[in-house]
A and B are shown apart, each in its own frame.
Chain A
Amino acid sequence: QKEVEQNSGPLSVPEGAIASLNCTYSDRVSQSFFWYRQYSGKSPELIMSIYSNGDKEDGRFTAQLNKASQYVSLLIRDSQPSDSATYLCAVRFSSGSARQLTFGSGTQLTVLP
């Protein structure tokens, strides 16, 4: 069974620090990876995608992918209290439907003022 694993947290960081969120997956040939932010009581919102090894930056967010080690991470620089949310990792496994994603259970992040 294809799996996506995340540390559930909670992860607490002080305001202005770098928050590091990690995700591992079970299928070595997976190709598409996504990070979502979900505020309490709200729906998930796609914030980053990454498809090839290395780093991808978007504003304060950086996604990092290492296919050999089967992990993907999300770094949030200059963390703000408004970044406090649950962050979900999702993977499109290569053997699945082209548009079917498998989600991790999420990591709860709290940014302390």
Chain B
Amino acid sequence: NAGVTQTPKFQVLKTGQSMTLQCAQDMNHNSMYWYRQDPGMGLRLIYYSASEGTTDKGEVPNGYNVSRLNKREFSLRLESAAPSQTSVYFCASIGSSLETQYFGPGTRLLVL
């Protein structure tokens, strides 16, 4: 997971609680992404940021918000967690070409 870090690694929430997942990369990449991975569903894009100061919705944005704090950091916020948001969340960054893409180690979220 060269250069992409995520915190926390694991979190348990109760329905209705809020939390922010943090992601940072030190590779000077412009593009950053948040995915969720559920069993049998592959990776689904939640939000992405093509460059500092821009964010766009992906395939499954409902219930989430994001902030591209600076070029290094891209956070994902759950305002009111629901059991359907139980998943593994991966942050990724992509450099000047699609050949240079790296994923963080993931955050495992359980919503009760």
Contact = CB atoms under 8 A, between A and B. Distances in A.
Contact of A105 (B41, B90, B103): B41
Contacts, number: 51
B31 A43 contact: no
Interface residues of B, number: 24
A106 B45 CA distance: 15
Interface residues of A, number: 24
Interface stretch (A10-18, A63-71, A95-103): A95-103
A99 B42 contact: no
B42 A42 contact: no
28 contacts: A4-B42, A6-B42, A8-B40, A34-B98, A43-B104, A43-B106, A44-B43, A46-B99, A46-B101, A88-B43, A92-B98, A98-B50, A99-B31, A99-B48, A99-B94, A99-B98, A100-B45, A101-B98, A102-B45, A102-B59, A103-B35, A103-B43, A103-B44, A104-B42, A105-B40, A105-B41, A105-B42, A106-B42
Interface of A: 4, 6, 8, 32, 34, 42-46, 49, 88, 90, 92, 97-106
Given A98-B50, A101-B45, A104-B42, 12 more contacts: A4-B42, A42-B105, A43-B104, A44-B90, A44-B103, A45-B103, A46-B101, A49-B98, A88-B43, A92-B98, A100-B58, A103-B44
